Amino acid sequence: MDENAEEYEEEYEDARRARWTATGTGALLALVGLAASTLRLTGSAPVLVPGAYAFGAAVCGLASVLGARGRTRRALWLLVIGVMVMALGDQFD
């Protein structure tokens, strides 16, 4: 009985760590994307570039919300998509 309790405790800690990681990473990437969008908007970059950063930041923000709710696998995919959108927008500069 004690082995099962320890096993469940480890799984619970792993899930909690994954939720915190997805939430923190999503929030950080959303803030960075918004900052980059603001900086690019004030410069001479085409409108597509700050728009891509802002959209990528919104996707990362959604990933942060999903990560906080325990949907870490979906959050990971959204983080990847959000960063890819920001990188693609940077290519248009």
Using one digit for the tens of pLDDT, what is the confidence trace for 17-74? 999 999 999 999 999 999 999 999 998 888 899 999 999 999 999 999 999 999 999 9
Instruction: Write the burial class of residue 58 (CB in 10 Å: 0-12 exposed, 13-18 middle, 19+ buried).
Output: middle
Q: What is the pTM of this model?
A: 0.87
pLDDT confidence of 5, banded at 50, 70, 90? confident
Cα–Cα dist 66/50, whole Å: 24
Would you put residue 89 in left (φ > 0), alpha (ψ -120 to 50) or beta?
alpha
Cα–Cα dist 54/8, whole Å: 40
Q: Which pLDDT value is given to residue 58? A: 97
Query: Domains of the chain: which residue ranges?
Result: 1-45, 46-92
Which amino acid, residue 79? L
Q: Which pLDDT value is given to residue 44? A: 84
Whether the per-residue pLDDT at 6 is higher than 80: the answer is no
